[in-house]
Chain A
Amino acid sequence: NAGVTQTPKFQVLKTGQSMTLQCAQDMNHEYMSWYRQDPGMGLRLIHYSVGAGITDQGEVPNGYNVSRSTTEDFPLRLLSAAPSQTSVYFCASSYSTWGLGQKRFFGPGTRLTVL
Chain B
Amino acid sequence: AQTVTQSQPEMSVQEAETVTLSCTYDTSESNYYLFWYKQPPSRQMILVIRQEAYKQQNATENRFSVNFQKAAKSFSLKISDSQLGDTAMYFCAFQTGNQFYFGTGTSLTVIP
Contacts and interface: CB of A to CB of B under 8 A. Distances in A.
Interface in A26-80: 31, 33, 35, 40-45, 48, 50, 56, 58-59
A101 B52 contact: yes
Interface residues of B, number: 24
Given A48-B98, A98-B98, A106 B105 contact: no
Contacts of A45: 99-101
Interface residues of A, number: 26
Contacts of B103: 42
B100 A33 contact: yes
Nearest to B35: A104
A52 to B, nearest CB: 16
A33 to B, nearest CB: 7
Interface of B: 4, 31, 33, 42-47, 50, 52, 91, 93, 95-105
